[in-house]
A and B are shown apart, each in its own frame.
Chain A
Amino acid sequence: MTTATRDAATAGSVEPAPIGLPRLLPATGQPMELAAHLHVHGATPYRGGPRMLIHTIESAGLTGRGGAAFPTHRKLTAVANQKGRPVVVGNGAEGEPASDKDKLLLWSSPHLVLDGLQLAAETVGARQVHLYVHRDPQKGQLVQRLESALAERAAAGLDRITVNIVTAPSRFLAGEESALANRVEGGAALPRFTPPRIFERGVNGAPTLVQNVETLAQLALISRYGPAWFRAVGTKAEPGSMLTTVRLADGSGGIVETAIGAPIAELLNLAEHPVRAVLVGGYHGAWLTPEQARHLTLSNADLRPLGAAVGAGVLAALPADRCGLVESARVVQYLALESAGQCGPCLNGLPRIAATLWQLAEHRSAPAARDDLHRWSKLVERRGACHHPDGTVRFLRSALTVFADEVSLHEAGRCSAGTYEPFLPIPAASPDHKDDWS
């Protein structure tokens, strides 16, 4: 494989561009401090003016790594085209309990993310930059680490705009871009009604660029090593690498940086352990049958036709001895509790869906359960200010499809599972729900 060409400005003390993997995560496996980062990647490759990076990003074909897979160059262009000085926010609040990739990326490669923030700000002409991360008590250390990384960069004169760290509550919707805008403004992390979209009017009315921290890190690498380097892995339609949180059937797992288009069977080691089903895309994603999972790759090209998506790169293999219905009921209850409670259909529909699914899971069935679930799904879809009800319904429908046999068993008072021990990670219920949105 040829070494990709580098930006002449960063030639000299920099190591050759790493074509293969890992790219985002440090090759050594240890968190990369500033000195090591500068040695491997060089200084932040500012272009010298707005919009100059956009064409490179377009050639690279970078799409958002926060779940929506929106073409990054289009977002950059849209924000740069708005009237008024833009604001940039790096979104590290993944919200998804089954996902840890953003936390790991921020911990291990903070300087790639922070480079990306500066470059994105330069490209859209922003003067205000924020980094949005969960404040999580256990991980309060992450904020400290980021603060010291920023201080180091300030001392080295790397950053052109001061980055302001904004902490997010530990809520599923905290990373939703309009909730993020509200939180950065100082309010509660509750979603807004759109239009206007956040790229038009976001933080304090300014056009706001919201990018997932992984997208920013990719951007920082592309700006150094170029589009050809980026496309050296992945598929033609979905180039590049991505971070995936994997949970194998034997309980092991972690975060893997993989090329997009890698076979799911390999990522989850499906050959080794029997599985009941595979969850792709997190709690707003979809279940796949083992058969489907064995033949599919981690790409939207493969997953979208089945109503699933890569999302924020969460893959979980449900062990064969677990009950898919009970696991799904736990997830749906969690999702119902994570509703912002602002919109009538979601506030009313999700709890009823959750209670009914539990009824099925606990063999307390009533014949109306399936009809109720079907009716309520149609009532909550697309009738909220955000996509929480839509994602919940997607998850629910895939569960009812993939676990259809299990549903029938439960209606007859039986179950095929060996244990009800929880497999998917569900945070404990918040003690004081109404106060912890800020």
Chain B
Amino acid sequence: MTTGTAFWFASRATGVISLVLFSLVAILGILVNRQGRLPGLPRFAVTGLHRNLSLLTVAFLGTHIVTAIVDGYAHIPWLSTVVPFSSDYERFWIGLGTMAIDLLAAIIVTSLLRDRLRPAVWRAVHWLSYVCYPVVVVHSLGAYKDLRSGWLLALTMATVFAVVTAIGYRVLDALATVPRPGRVPEQLVRAEEIRADKAGSLR
């Protein structure tokens, strides 16, 4: 086995791992946003897990990128780490990968600086993760043909399905939530019911 093949194999393996990790991070992010809990864990553990896994994802992603470029076979230039669609090899699919790197870089950097940025700015950039994820999935399926069959396809579908379910849950929960100014009458009705129950139980 030549070194070229070893790098190439490493790139694909870390790529798949990155995809799975990214999916987990996205699901945890939605959990944080909806104030969800993980059984037995304090609230700061959910956010902590979201952050730590995202940094782990960056580590695997970094390896995935470096091994792909260092491997001589495909001639992907270093420029392709930042400039989309600058690779001769699989221009489109690699280009999507580059886009994902750019978006992720913005998200990660703003998150590292989140206590120094205005909340609205941090939030706007973080929303880009919903753009980043589909780009990552399409890049993966396009650049790595083996993902389109066998157990790798099953794995990919399972992780994507999990993320889509989480997104669906978030959308439904958001739709069911009354926007804040409108919550006041709801609270008033609820308060009345609570008082009525209390009075009833005393008689």
Contacts and interface: CB of A to CB of B under 8 A. Distances in A.
Interface of A: 188, 190, 333, 336-337, 339-342, 347-348, 350-352, 354-356, 358-359, 364-366, 368, 429, 433-434, 437
Contact of A433 (B184, B192, B194, B195): B184
A341 B188 CA distance: 11
Interface string B47-58: 000000000000
Interface in B186-203: 187-188, 190-192, 194-196, 198-199, 202
Interface in B169-191: 178-185, 187-188, 190-191
> What DSSP secondary structure best describes chain B's contact surface?
helix
Q: Name which of A342, A352, A437 has the most chain B CB atoms within 10 A of its CB.
A: A352
A341 B191 contact: no
A359 B195 contact: yes
A360 to B, nearest CB: 10
Contact of B191 (A352, A368, A433, A437): A352
Closest 10 CB pairs of A and B: A434-B182, A355-B191, A351-B187, A351-B188, A351-B191, A352-B191, A341-B184, A341-B180, A341-B181, A355-B195
B199 A351 contact: no
Contacts of A355: 188, 191-192, 194-195
Contacts of A356: 191, 195
Interface string B20-61: 000000000000000000000000000000000000000000
Nearest to B185: A433
Interface residues of B, number: 19
B168 to A, nearest CB: 25
A394 to B, nearest CB: 20
Contacts of B194: 352, 355
A342 B178 CA distance: 12
A366 B188 contact: no
A347 B195 contact: no
Contacts of B180: 340-342, 347
Contacts of B198: 366, 368
A190 B179 CA distance: 13
B184 A336 contact: yes
A170 to B, nearest CB: 14
B202 A337 contact: no
A347 B183 CA distance: 8
A304 B47 CA distance: 48
A67 B53 CA distance: 53
A340 B188 contact: no
Contact of B182 (A190, A364, A433): A433
Given A351-B184, A364-B199, A366-B198, A434 B179 contact: yes
Nearest to A355: B191
Contact of B202 (A347, A366, A437): A366
A350 B190 CA distance: 12
Contacts of A358: 192, 195
Nearest to A340: B181
B188 A333 contact: yes
A433 B183 CA distance: 9
Q: Name which of B178, B181, B185, B192 has the most chain A CB atoms within 10 A of its CB.
A: B181
Contacts of B190: 351
Q: Name which of B178, B187, B192, B194 has the most chain A CB atoms within 10 A of its CB.
A: B187
B191 to A, nearest CB: 4
A314 B24 CA distance: 59
A342 B181 contact: yes
Nearest to B202: A366
Contact of A348 (B185, B187, B195, B196): B187
Given A342-B180, A437-B181, A336 B199 contact: no
B58 to A, nearest CB: 33
Contacts of B187: 336, 341, 347-348, 350-352
A333 B190 CA distance: 13
A433 B199 contact: no
A429 B188 CA distance: 12
B178 A434 contact: yes
Contacts of B192: 355, 358
24 contacts: A188-B181, A336-B184, A336-B187, A337-B185, A337-B188, A339-B184, A341-B183, A341-B184, A350-B184, A351-B190, A351-B191, A352-B187, A355-B188, A359-B195, A359-B199, A364-B195, A364-B196, A368-B198, A429-B185, A433-B181, A433-B182, A433-B184, A433-B185, A434-B182
B199 A434 contact: no
Contact of B188 (A190, A354, A434, A437): A354
B191 A354 contact: yes
Nearest to A342: B180
